[in-house]
Chain A
């Protein structure tokens, strides 16, 4: 980290399982193999920056399952946490409890301990100000596979210092009433290789539950359930992927591509998760069960409009 330290910074006492800086992500680099990245749960990312009165593309700290433990040094700042997150502030050896979705004040020598996400995966920490991070190809989003973006493309590590800049005066509470609802039914649109699978396989795909396995991360969710039998070919000529694509591997298991996915893939695509269900999909933790439901493009577009309206509505009801 930089030698000439600012007066305001976090020291990482515990990095958490997968804590990375994220913003809106990188557009227009799929053709050279660089995925979109960006915050996994777009709505919670947007709410975090909104509560902080930040620009909508301001960097946030994303964490998964167990978050970081950070010691704060500096003048009083406003921070907020979004998601379904259990966290506390340790001040003068006392544990203070707070809620998500509202600004709280962090004082010099406070310790912010983000303990866990509850029955979900990702949460976000935003500050009234800006994390001082590196940008690469117009985004700070960390991609640990290509080693690009903030923090030299790495997850947070113990002992490192996170410098803060452009700190704002203490912000109003800006509370948002929001409950992260869980979904089990994931709505999808048929993919281009739907006819690679037998009628029985398709029936089985839609009528059975699948388990979200531990082999799930920012690149994808691996599912286990009934084997989906391919009647044409278990491989295709490699071609472009997008987030939400469900590929069926040669073993007959579905994998859902998420924000850090490989840009091209060679397995048949049985379907694609609709945009409106993406934020909720990424929050489904391993051990959960999900079921797929087919809908058509028109309905998917309408549902997305409603989802966007709902988000705008949440923001306009800030207190």
Chain B
């Protein structure tokens, strides 16, 4: 299922699952990720799943590329043991002051604001990966009618908890951060809770997510 394993420097394996981005390939990546987490192979320091790659970094004092590569190749894969498959429901407030790019999207996509939201809220999304900044989920796939390019000039500061869309993906800015995705609303839920010492992430790779609209009043109630 891994097409090719090569070295990423002297202390990481770069596992290639293909060039496309789809759920099938990503489920393979996540299945390997889960199996490796349970494997206890000596020296692994981090395993990073993404759309179609898996990077395994290790402590060069404890193991080596050749050793770990062999172990990964001979890994006895168990079928998706992450079949609990959470459905996580995320509230989104689409008030004007939060939907920073809704006007731009109307023009770009040539559909009404109401239609954009109706389409966005009608689907379930799959979490391909989390990262870049702590807890940020990369979700897909968007309905084709909502495929939109990034902003030409990224914002220096996207407000925390903003919901962004671009091309086939949407995400949630878990921290205030620079970014170029089209912002359509804001959630009242903290996706990354840095007070929680175990599982600070609400959304993990492989999870299914749906969004539902809330009013400004509900948003403020939840937030205070």
Residues of B within 8 A of A264 (CB): 48, 50, 129, 131-132
Residues of B within 8 A of A237 (CB): 19, 21, 50-53
**Shortest distance between the CB of A52 and any CB in chain B (Å):** 22
Alpha-carbon separation in the docked complex, A263 to B129 (Å): 11
Q: State the interface size on chain B (CB cutoff 8 A).
A: 47
**Shortest distance between the CB of B179 and any CB in chain A (Å):** 12
Is the Cβ of B60 less than 8 Å from the Cβ of A304? yes
Digitize A265-295: 1 where CB-to-B-CB distance is under 8 Å, 0 elsewhere: 1000100111100000000000000000000
Alpha-carbon separation in the docked complex, A242 to B8 (Å): 8
Residues of A within 8 A of B6 (CB): 192
**Shortest distance between the CB of B192 and any CB in chain A (Å):** 7
Residues of B within 8 A of A31 (CB): 33, 46-49, 129-131, 204-205
Is the Cβ of B9 less than 8 Å from the Cβ of A273? yes
Task: Check if B181 is an interface residue, CB within 8 A of chain A.
Answer: no
Task: Check if B165 is an interface residue, CB within 8 A of chain A.
Answer: no
Residues of B within 8 A of A275 (CB): 9-11, 60
Is the Cβ of A153 less than 8 Å from the Cβ of B54? no
**Shortest distance between the CB of B101 and any CB in chain A (Å):** 20
Is the Cβ of A192 less than 8 Å from the Cβ of B8? yes
Is the Cβ of A308 less than 8 Å from the Cβ of B57? no
Is the Cβ of B135 less than 8 Å from the Cβ of A244? no
Residue in B7, B60, B135 whose CB lies within 8 Å of A32: B135
Task: Check if B208 is an interface residue, CB within 8 A of chain A.
Answer: no
Residue in B53, B60, B131 with the greatest tally of chain A CB atoms within 10 Å: B131
Q: State the interface size on chain A (CB cutoff 8 A).
A: 43
Residue in A153, A265, A300 with the greatest tally of chain B CB atoms within 10 Å: A300
Alpha-carbon separation in the docked complex, A124 to B45 (Å): 24
Alpha-carbon separation in the docked complex, A304 to B10 (Å): 9
**Shortest distance between the CB of A147 and any CB in chain B (Å):** 6
Interface residues in B43-84 by Cβ distance below 8 A to A read 44-55, 57, 60-61, 64-65
Is the Cβ of A32 less than 8 Å from the Cβ of B201? yes
Task: Check if B148 is an interface residue, CB within 8 A of chain A.
Answer: no
Known A-B contacts A32-B200, A264-B129, A273-B9; the reply to A240 vs B134 at CB < 8 A is no
Residue in A34, A153, A244 whose CB lies within 8 Å of B9: A244
Q: What is the interface of chain A, defined by CB distance below 8 A to chain B? A: 27-34, 36, 136-137, 143, 145-148, 153, 188-189, 191-192, 237-242, 244-245, 262-265, 269, 272-275, 297, 300-301, 304, 308
Q: List 14 A-B contacts (CB under 8 A).
A: A31-B49, A136-B194, A145-B175, A148-B134, A192-B14, A237-B50, A237-B51, A238-B51, A240-B55, A263-B48, A263-B132, A272-B10, A297-B65, A308-B61
11 more A-B residue pairs beyond the given contacts A245-B8, A245-B9, with a C-beta to C-beta distance below 8 A: A30-B48, A31-B48, A31-B129, A31-B131, A33-B132, A33-B136, A145-B134, A148-B134, A188-B9, A239-B52, A297-B65
A-B residue pairs, 10 tightest by C-beta: A272-B9, A240-B55, A240-B48, A33-B131, A146-B134, A263-B131, A30-B46, A300-B10, A239-B50, A239-B53
